[in-house]
Amino acid sequence: MANDSFHGHPEVVTTHEVHHDEHHVHHHKETFITKYVFSQDHKMIAKQFLITGMIWAIMGGLMSVLFRLQLGYPDQTFPWLEDILGRWARGGKISVENYYALVTMHGTVLVFFVLTGGLSGTFANLLIPLQIGARDMASPFLNMLSYWFFFGGSIVMLASLFIQTGPFSGGWTFYPPLSALGDASPGSKAGADYWIIGMALFIISSLLGGLNYIATILNMRTKGMSMSRLPLTCWALLFTAILGVLSFPVLLSGVLLVVFDRHAGTSFYLADIFVGGKALPNEGGSAILFQHLFWFLGHPEVYIIILPAMGLVSEIMAINCRKPIFGYMAMVGSLFAIAILAFLVWAHHMFVTGLNPFLGSVFVLLTLLIAVPSAIKVFNWLTTMWRGNIRFTPAMLFAVGFVSLFISGGLTGIWLGNSTLDIHLHDTYFVIAHFHIVMGVSAFFGMFAGIYHWFPKMYGRYMNNSLAYIHFWVTLVGAYLIFWPMHYQGLAGMPRRYFDYSQWLSFSQFSDLNKFISTVAMIVFAVQLLFVFNFFYSIFKGRRVTSTNPWHATTLEWTTPVRPGHGNWPGEIPEVHRWAYDYGKDGRDFIPQTEPVGPNESKHH
């Protein structure tokens, strides 16, 4: 192959191997604490991220069910809510401040703790060492810290739900002055400080993890694993980690300035404010500055969420179509293009902030440019399916669902990225529909696909297929039923983050629809619980995996034992001789990456 020059120095690889083999043979005694709690095994850390993420996802989902209850049935009371939630729902009705707290925490939890921590944390940890042929991460210790900072951040964020003034309630975007002024909203009192501390810990976790992923992919690939032979999952996770490492510090610094404004009397974001019956001393700050800093992370963040899903889906598509992924280099190139453009489009969230219209126009151009690599990816997935021999494993179903949702949500991005349309649609339900489909539900679909597909690797058992089919079809249909009609609410100009629409002439016509959406949301949530049950039940009671390579896949993780120990391969690390996508080549169903290229083998791509 022409790209052989890419791959790592053989000497270095050998030293690694020797070192690790030694490690493996004289294994330290594992105690419960070192194996399950402060584990440095990337596979265990992946499981810790996954299960913590799942707990967060259940809570975040439950929050949405609770506030959908208010939106669907604004004039009813549910006495049992008071039994469960206490003062959050006095008289069986969620109060305004708690409604906004729920909305805010739903966003924060799902965007950061589930779809960033839970998704990247799980699959980067699980797949990077296994797929590149490494015994563990570059620094297993930092990797462990990464999880425990995530855990710490989770605890602080969770604690904020229980403080007297309530958790932060000004929206997950944390815009000051609202987030900086305790007098402007009860959630901006102690809740905002908890939010900041929780996020700071989360960001540290994300940085430790991200640096580790990058270092591991660049330095620890096994012999023969050139960059151009990497599975697309690893490419996607690499770009994700780079995005995170470059953008999360900006959020941290932006939020740090809010801390100064809150507690040190500075005026980074505050100017000319009269609140709580008095004028504040702050002058000269710019509230919009925060939005620039926030979205400099915030926009890459949506790609941090979606790129891993794209990687997982690409891999699962190829395996279950029994065909190579179509256009491997174009797939890598489009990931790269998306990663670059992700940093150049942040101000499309700010078209109506009073941004200079010329600056806005530049961001329109760059934003719509992202549609090009996205289109390439979609067409490549479609061509991968074309003339395949498709097995509908649960993972494949979710991969197909992912593509469908990514198309639907991606196309409305072309609406919102165009400043002219954004003037009308900004902060309406159209936006809710767009981003829930394209980065909420579809990222979840990528995550589900990954969980179903790699569950045998994680636990040596299968998940139940029938429950998985029910899970898939109800979730796909439900997601469209919930979010598709919201486009129409957006086209009526209906603003997001409203507690009650009944006093509005322009928006109250949707009360039936709101009821319908809320009902579907509850059903879909219940089905997710079925998935959770399936997951935990299958860990202990699922059908056992008997062969090392149950999906007939080419990549290295399936050359390890069914339940690999710390170090992954009992013997030497396998050497790689080909790319990851030799499916259906020369009449053979699949050729593992470890198989040397035969003398009569036809040349591939």
Partner 1 sequence: MTTTGFFIVAILALGFLITFQIAKASEYVSILKGEKKSFEQNNKINAFLMVVFLVLGLIGVWYCNKLLYKKTLLPYPSASEHGENIDTMLWITLIITGAVFIATQILLFWFAFKYQHNDKRKAYYYPHNNKLEVIWTTIPAIALCVLVGFGLFYWFRITGEAPKEAMQIEVTGKQFEWIFRYPGRDNTFGKKYFRLIDPGKLNQLGMLWSDTTLQGPSRPDHHDHTKMVSTSTELKADPAGFDDIIIQSKPMYLVKGQPVKLIINAQDVIHDVGLPHFRLKMDAVPGTPTTMWFTPKYTTEEMRQITGNPNFDYEIACDQMCGNGHYSMRGVIKVVTRDEFILWRAQQKPAYADFNPNAGGTAPAGDAQPADSVQAVSKVVK
Binders of partner 1 in range 543-562 (CB under 8 A): 543
CA dihedral (193, 431, 106, 394) positive or negative: negative
Q: Which is nearer to partner 1, 216 or 593 (CB)?
A: 593
Strands 274-275 and 278-279: antiparallel
Nearest distance from C-beta of residue 362 to partner 1, angstroms? 10
Choices 37-45, 120-128, 297-305, 349-357; region in contact with partner 1 by CB under 8 A: 349-357
Binders of partner 1 in range 280-309 (CB under 8 A): 281, 283-288
Distance separating alpha carbons of residues 497 and 490, to the nearest angstrom:
12
In sequence order, the 6+-apart residues with CB closer than 8 A to the CB of 256 are none
Q: Which is nearer to partner 1, 36 or 533 (CB)?
A: 533
Which string of DSSP letters, residue by residue, matches 494-552? PBSS-S--TT-TTTGGGHHHHHHHHHHHHHHHHHHHHHHHHHHHHHHHSPBP-SS-TT-
User: Does residue number 359 form part of the binding site for partner 1 (CB under 8 A)?
Assistant: no
Q: Which is nearer to partner 1, 428 or 568 (CB)?
A: 428
What is the residue whose two structure tokens read 């926009």? 299
- Residue 275 is inside which H or E element, if any? strand 274-275
Q: Which is nearer to partner 1, 304 or 331 (CB)?
A: 331
User: Does residue number 585 form part of the binding site for partner 1 (CB under 8 A)?
Assistant: yes
User: Does residue number 310 form part of the binding site for partner 1 (CB under 8 A)?
Assistant: no
Q: What is the CB neighbour count within 10 angstroms for residue 561?
A: 11
Q: Which is nearer to partner 1, 190 or 414 (CB)?
A: 414
Radius of gyration for the alpha carbons in the chain, expressed in angstroms and rounded = 24
The answer to whether 79 and 145 have CB atoms below 8 angstroms apart is no
Q: Which of 142, 369, 458, 545 binds partner 1 (CB under 8 A)?
A: 369
Choices 13-21, 29-37, 157-165, 353-361; region in contact with partner 1 by CB under 8 A: 353-361
User: Does residue number 124 form part of the binding site for partner 1 (CB under 8 A)?
Assistant: no
Q: Which of 62, 330, 344, 562 binds partner 1 (CB under 8 A)?
A: 330
User: Does residue number 383 form part of the binding site for partner 1 (CB under 8 A)?
Assistant: yes
Distance separating alpha carbons of residues 119 and 475, to the nearest angstrom:
18
Q: Which is nearer to partner 1, 391 or 563 (CB)?
A: 391
User: Does residue number 439 form part of the binding site for partner 1 (CB under 8 A)?
Assistant: no
Choices 253-261, 301-309, 463-471, 560-568; region in contact with partner 1 by CB under 8 A: 463-471
User: Does residue number 235 form part of the binding site for partner 1 (CB under 8 A)?
Assistant: no
State the alpha helices, DSSP H only, in 264-327.
Answer: 287-321
Backbone angles phi, psi at 461, to 5 degrees: -140, 165
Q: Which of 300, 388, 478, 567 binds partner 1 (CB under 8 A)?
A: 388
Distance separating alpha carbons of residues 166 and 186, to the nearest angstrom:
7
Q: Which is nearer to partner 1, 6 or 415 (CB)?
A: 415
Nearest distance from C-beta of residue 119 to partner 1, angstroms? 23
Distance separating alpha carbons of residues 602 and 254, to the nearest angstrom:
55
Q: Which of 114, 126, 270, 342 binds partner 1 (CB under 8 A)?
A: 270
User: Does residue number 158 form part of the binding site for partner 1 (CB under 8 A)?
Assistant: no
Does residue 55 sit in helix, strand or coil? helix
Binders of partner 1 in range 465-494 (CB under 8 A): 465-467, 469-470, 473, 476-477, 480, 484-485, 488, 491-493
User: Does residue number 605 form part of the binding site for partner 1 (CB under 8 A)?
Assistant: yes
The answer to whether 177 and 273 have CB atoms below 8 angstroms apart is yes
Q: Which of 211, 344, 411, 562 binds partner 1 (CB under 8 A)?
A: 411
User: Does residue number 31 form part of the binding site for partner 1 (CB under 8 A)?
Assistant: no
Q: Which of 14, 15, 19, 83 binds partner 1 (CB under 8 A)?
A: 83
CA dihedral (175, 357, 345, 107) positive or negative: positive
User: Does residue number 536 form part of the binding site for partner 1 (CB under 8 A)?
Assistant: no
Nearest distance from C-beta of residue 535 to partner 1, angstroms? 13
Nearest distance from C-beta of residue 262 to partner 1, angstroms? 14
Among candidate residues 251, 80, 281, the one with its CA nearest the CA of residue 174: 251
User: Does residue number 412 form part of the binding site for partner 1 (CB under 8 A)?
Assistant: yes
Binders of partner 1 in range 84-103 (CB under 8 A): 84, 96-97, 100
CA angle 426, 177, 97 (to 5 degrees): 80
User: Does residue number 532 form part of the binding site for partner 1 (CB under 8 A)?
Assistant: no
The answer to whether 374 and 410 have CB atoms below 8 angstroms apart is yes
User: Does residue number 346 form part of the binding site for partner 1 (CB under 8 A)?
Assistant: no
User: Does residue number 509 form part of the binding site for partner 1 (CB under 8 A)?
Assistant: yes
Cα-based distances in Å from 150 to 121, 246, 589? 9, 18, 41
Among candidate residues 349, 338, 403, the one with its CA nearest the CA of residue 371: 338
User: Does residue number 26 form part of the binding site for partner 1 (CB under 8 A)?
Assistant: no
Q: Which is nearer to partner 1, 311 or 567 (CB)?
A: 311
User: Does residue number 8 form part of the binding site for partner 1 (CB under 8 A)?
Assistant: no
User: Does residue number 186 form part of the binding site for partner 1 (CB under 8 A)?
Assistant: yes
Binders of partner 1: how many residues, by CB under 8 A? 133
Nearest distance from C-beta of residue 100 to partner 1, angstroms? 6
The answer to whether 43 and 458 have CB atoms below 8 angstroms apart is yes
Residue 581 CA, distance from chain mean position? 25
Q: How far apart are the first and last CA of the chain?
A: 10
Nearest distance from C-beta of residue 209 to partner 1, angstroms? 30
Nearest distance from C-beta of residue 132 to partner 1, angstroms? 21
User: Does residue number 458 form part of the binding site for partner 1 (CB under 8 A)?
Assistant: no
Q: Which of 248, 507, 531, 551 binds partner 1 (CB under 8 A)?
A: 507
The answer to whether 179 and 200 have CB atoms below 8 angstroms apart is no
Q: Which of 498, 519, 548, 595 binds partner 1 (CB under 8 A)?
A: 498
Among candidate residues 34, 91, 106, the one with its CA nearest the CA of residue 525: 106
Cα-based distances in Å from 102 to 61, 179, 497? 10, 16, 11
Residue/partner pairs of 185-188 with CB below 8 Å, 24 or more apart: 185/97, 185/100, 186/97, 187/97, 187/100, 187/101, 187/104
User: Does residue number 336 form part of the binding site for partner 1 (CB under 8 A)?
Assistant: no
Among candidate residues 347, 331, 356, 144, the one with its CA nearest the CA of residue 230: 331
User: Does residue number 567 form part of the binding site for partner 1 (CB under 8 A)?
Assistant: no
